[in-house]
Structure 1
């Protein structure tokens, strides 16, 4: 079993569940961080001291306060950790239930496991820790496996996401060409953008761009 684990979580109550699981698994060293920057510093220092953490269990959402941080979310922390220490195991432990966001944790952020905070959190997290340790494979609970089979989620690319994001913040379709050019996003011709938006509306069964954005938000795409 893992010998040294770091928990990144800003709510004490949630720490209790994680600690309970780790103690049941006889993990001897359990440490904590309430901020993402603090967690990354601890991980760097442990590596320098030749006593590295073997597992990071992190929430995704961290409530902002008076403290200024460079890393403000679990995704940002995971990305930074995986860039510096790709061999380190990471499990995301979150209330997140949006399909696309969960899938992107594996495809983009590189997590080794995801556990949703709910009534079955403790047994599910215990199973995830054991699985990641013993098999080294990615862990996602059975009821969430559909995420990897969902054709809708799998066929949306980064260009589509950027397009929907701009629509979601109020950029009108007729202004999208200029916005894409300023952002250096290609292709950025008016006809290409119009065709892509129409394709997305058909794909998601959206009546208009407002409906399209609403569906995308429900899926966690934006």
Structure 2
């Protein structure tokens, strides 16, 4: 079983509950961090001391307070950690419920498991830890297993997500074009944007833009 684990969580109650769950698995060396910057610092120090962490369990959302931090989310933390310790096992323990974002955690950040916070989250977390340790497989609870199988989410690009988000805000084509230009995103011409949106409507079998946004929200894309 894993010997050294870091929990990145800003709520004491959840952090304590997770620690208890780990102790039930006979894991004794458990460290905590309420801020992503602190978590990264602990990872770096452990590597420097040649006593690295085996597993990182992190939330995605961290409440902003008086303290200024470079890393403000679990996504940023995991990305930074993977750069200095690529082989560390990672579990996201979060209330996130958007399919696209969960899938991107596996595809883009290479996490090993996603466990949703909820009624049965602790047994699921323990099961995920055991599965990762013994089988070294990506783990997702049964209720979310469809996310990794959904090919449509894989084929949608970041550019498409940006378009869908702007559409969901009520932007018209010219406003989307201006927003993309200001962000340095290409293609940003009105004609290109309109063609892309039409392709998305065909892809998702949407009757119009409103229907397209509705489908996108159901899939957790926006």
- Is the TM value for this pair above 0.5? yes
- Aligned pairs for 1:1-222 within 5 A: 1-168=1-168, 171-206=171-206, 208-209=208-209, 212-222=212-222
| Matches of 1:68 and 1:214, distance apart in 2 | 37
Give me the CA root mean square deviation: 1.9
Normalised to the residue count of structure 2, the TM-score between the two structures is: 0.91
Unaligned residue ranges in structure 1 (runs of 5+): none
**Cα distance, 1:2 vs. partner?**
0.8
Structure-1 separation of matches of 2:12 and 2:172: 43
State the aligned residue count: 222
CA deviation digits over 1:128-186, x for unaligned, max 9? 00111112221112221111222332221122112223334564312333443443333
| Further displaced range: 76-85 or 172-181 | 172-181
Write the distance in 1 (CA, Å) between the matches of 2:216 and 2:75: 19
C-alpha displacement at 1:98, in angstroms?
Answer: 1.3
What TM-score does the superposition give when structure 1 sets the normalisation length? 0.91
